[in-house]
Chain A
Amino acid sequence: MSILHIAILAPFIFAIFIPLFYKYLPRIHTGWFVLVLPTLLFIYLIRMLPTISKGEVITKQFEWVPSLGINFNVYIDGLGLLFALLITGIGALVVLYSIYYLGKKGEALHNFYVYLLMFMGAMLGVVLSGNLMVLYVFWELTSLASALLIGYWYHRKKSRDGALKSMLVTVMGGFAMLAGFSFLYVITGTFNIQEIIANADVVAASSLFIPAMLLILLGAFTKSAQFPFHIWLPDAMEAPTPVSAYLHSATMVKAGIYLVARMSPVFAGAAEWFWLVAGLGIFTLLWGSFNAVRQTDLKSILAYSTISQLGMIMSLLGLGSASAYYGYEDYYVIATYAAIFHLINHSTFKGSLFMVVGIIDHETGTRDIRKLGGLITLMPITFTLSIIGAFSMAGIYPFNGFLSKEMFFTGLLHSLDITQFNMQSLAFLFPVIGWIASVFTFIYSMIIVFKTFTGKYQPEKLDKKPHEAPIGMLVPPIILAALVVVFGFFPGLLEHTIIDPAVHAIHPAALAAGEHFGIHIYPWHGWDAPELWMTIGVIALGVIMYLTLTKWQKIYEFLRLHKKDPINYIYDYLLDGVIRFAKKVTSMQMTGLLRDYLAFMFIFVIAIVLYSVIRYDVFSIDTGNMEGIPFYFWIIAFVFAAATITVPFIQYRVAAIIAVGIVGYLVALFFVIFRAPDLALTQLLVETVTTTLFLLCFYHLPELRKERSKPKFKLTNLIIAIGVGATVTITALSTLVARGHRPFEAISEYHLENSYKLAGGDNVVNVILVDFRGFDTFLEILVLGIASLGLYSLIKFRVKGRDSI
């Protein structure tokens, strides 16, 4: 356990104290305490940056379940550190923002911050773990935290539905991913990511290569909201805006990207990988941006925008994977480079945009662009921030989004030269789709800014009188917007420090230690560069289409997209179907009648035991030991049988108790005859106490009725009963014969020999109870204690049940 491990687990540990802060220091907003942690973690992590920039990695071992190869190894390289910095850095800003967004009154802040910290720790675990199993555990924890945060305002139905949807989609993907990881373990015999990468050729040669890849990609695509699994992300916008800014734009949804990047060294070079990642990515880009334009809710626009931007990063990673065929030339690696660069940029501008939307929502009471307008004079700072964020997203100079979009175009154009994977005929699709999607990106970016801040001010449609947000709410987006500008002017800040090591982690074969990529980020490519003209084209067509928006927006109705995303119909249908099916099955077996449940179990036991008896032909009987039974024993046996048989026919409760009591006392007599004095004593005493108890209870209970059931019902019961009796008899008789030749020695010999030697007791039964099997006895009295306390509370602290049924 190193400091690094503790740093990853720190959010979980810290979360324990949040409810205490909330309860005992109600004057101070709980967020101020929380803020400390991500800030410290960020400082701690950024101090590692120089080491990582040199191309080194930091590893720390901790054995967790070594027998299964599951170890909590921390592995920090460029990729992991980049994500960790995003998580803690944006985490700190989001916490600061949330302090002003969520008021002290009426909000369950202790829940909110516990979930948020749980997410932060889990996400750090995902990106810093060097072991697939540990990664998986943290991965599922992020899904859980995300669902809890989406459902934070759980009194709203939409929140609950959104939480459920995100949970179902991402956890389904998580399970698939677990299976994929297991396949990798089957192939390589290890869960250690670096060892798997070292054995990439073994993996590629395996027949499980494609299944493992598909399953892992399923996990990544569901998490990163790739088409057609993107439907959970718009619904996740029911979460408080700080959560949307944090989880659903900057960090969690990028976990899928992280996974694809992390697994790239294993799978890159395969045609399936290329087409799935690049193809699905570019389609998601188009689908997301196209659908964003039709939204009227600002957060929905941002949600679809996030989907599309994630698709863009994903497609770049896919295109970059082709570089495996070309000796990792910079010409092809540039796509991967663009992916990482855009990932950073996206976190900055999308984070600030979400916070801006949160401010608008907070100050005006609505996010509907049909109600908003003309806020420019009322909220000038917010307006400036939104301009920076949206223009960066649209790809306009001089913001960082412009640089990465140019680089995106470069990557797309370079893909035209890829001759693998049937790209000769299909390569042109990438630049074309990418360009069209960029036009729509431009349009919705403009919508966010100008529909909100310009146009007619409609105070009558707003619940509140809007004014500029408090300074604390403005600081986080200002910091992010400042980064947008800084990275726009000085992209060199990022090049060698973090992007190089991150890309190196994705393509480990591309660089020797200490080298750098020959790729540089620069805004000006020259007049003859096609990227420039593509950007100019985007802006020109984008402006025209934005101005004529109302004229062509009918196309959404024509395409039947205006109500909801068509994938949602499939989701709803499947969910309804599952629920209906489950109800059907349940109503078939859950009859509410004890007898039916027992009948199912008995029939099952009879069937499975008799099947094995017949299948393995084990029935045998040794009639020899019927001889020599003394006469008195026959009498006892007869009384025993008679008492037993009469029980079902008795109509009087006292008589029934006596009959059962006779059976019990005869059992005690058996114990005496067969030389078990302890048992005999116990049985006698228990029988006495039980009888007392029966008498006490039956005193209050009604007389036994004659059974009024139908003959058919009785007959079925009788058949099942005889079946059970016969099964027990047959099994016991066969066992008696088999007992003569058991393949191993009975442990009783050990007990008899060592009872005095080891435990100093002559009564072997008692020694077994208190010494050899002391743990059993201890748990047994624990069970007894629990049972008695259970019925004590059943009587003493009764809950008023439903009076009428």
Chain B
Amino acid sequence: MMKNSLSLQTISRIAVFIILLFSVYFLFAGHNNPGGGFIGGLMAASALVLLYLSFGTKKINKVIRINFPYLIATGLLIAMATGVISVIFGYPFLTQFYEYFHFPLLGKAGLATALLFDAGVFLVVIGVTILVILTIAEDDD
């Protein structure tokens, strides 16, 4: 994909983890602050893209052994499961619930099934983005 560049690789090593951390933060913060599954997913995907760009697809494929079509399917299943669960309890499809809990150390925090739904979105977005880019990048004829 690209000629190895030492400075890029060095920076990527650090940057990728920071971006990934941010993406998880965005996913969890999404309900009350800017963020959410889409943003988190895209951010995580761009972190991975950066990895692929700086180290090359072959090398990274050895490290990250994720089957991205499966990842998309998993995300879709999680999103659907939150909907189906509400159907099982007799509510319309995709009814979301939330409750406030007291956590040790963290204090009071809200937990919503919507977060689970957003996590599904998160996985789908990562899967789609990386799948698209890898498909092109690895097509070498």
Contact = CB atoms under 8 A, between A and B. Distances in A.
B34 A763 contact: yes
A781 B96 contact: no
Nearest to B49: A692
Interface string B20-36: 00000010001111111
Given A685-B42, A767-B114, A761 B136 contact: no
Contacts of A689: 42, 45-46, 49, 129, 133
Contacts, number: 135
Interface residues of A, number: 38
B69 A789 contact: yes
Interface stretch (A317-325, A373-381, A565-573, A676-684): A676-684
5 contacts: A678-B39, A682-B39, A696-B137, A760-B98, A788-B127
8 smallest CB-CB distances across A and B, nearest first, come from: A760-B98, A685-B42, A677-B34, A762-B32, A761-B31, A788-B128, A774-B94, A770-B114
Contacts of A778: 79-80, 83, 94, 117
B132 interface: yes
Interface in B120-141: 120-121, 124-125, 127-129, 131-133, 135-137, 139
A202 to B, nearest CB: 43
Given A696-B137, A774-B83, 10 more contacts: A681-B34, A693-B136, A760-B98, A760-B112, A761-B32, A766-B30, A766-B118, A770-B117, A785-B76, A788-B127
B51 interface: no
B118 A770 contact: yes
A692 B114 contact: no
Contact of B72 (A685, A765, A767, A788): A788
B38 interface: yes
Interface of B: 26, 30-39, 42-43, 45-46, 49, 53, 69, 72-73, 75-76, 79-80, 83, 93-94, 96, 98, 100, 110, 112, 114, 117-118, 120-121, 124-125, 127-129, 131-133, 135-137, 139
Contacts of A767: 31, 114
A561 interface: no
Interface in A752-783: 759-763, 765-767, 769-771, 774-775, 777-778, 781-782
B136 A759 contact: no
B135 A791 contact: yes
A561 to B, nearest CB: 65
Contacts of A795: 135-136, 139
A759 B112 contact: yes
Contacts of B125: 781, 784
B129 to A, nearest CB: 6
B5 to A, nearest CB: 16
Contacts of B100: 760
A697 interface: yes
Interface in A295-313: none
A790 to B, nearest CB: 10
A696 B136 contact: yes
Contact of B132 (A678, A685, A693, A770): A693
A582 B136 CA distance: 41
Contact of A763 (B36, B69, B83): B36
A785 B124 contact: yes
Contact of B114 (A685, A759, A789): A759
A763 B33 CA distance: 5
Contact of B98 (A686, A697, A759, A789): A759
Interface string A683-726: 00110110011001100000000000000000000000000000
Nearest to B38: A682
Interface in A506-531: none
Q: Point out which of A788, A789, A792 has the most chain B C-beta atoms below 10 A from its C-beta.
A: A788
A789 B67 CA distance: 12
A682 B112 CA distance: 22
B93 A775 contact: yes
A774 B96 contact: yes
B128 A784 contact: yes
Contacts of B26: 681
A105 interface: no
A777 B36 CA distance: 12
Contacts of A789: 69, 72, 131
A784 B133 contact: no
A255 B32 CA distance: 66
A800 interface: no
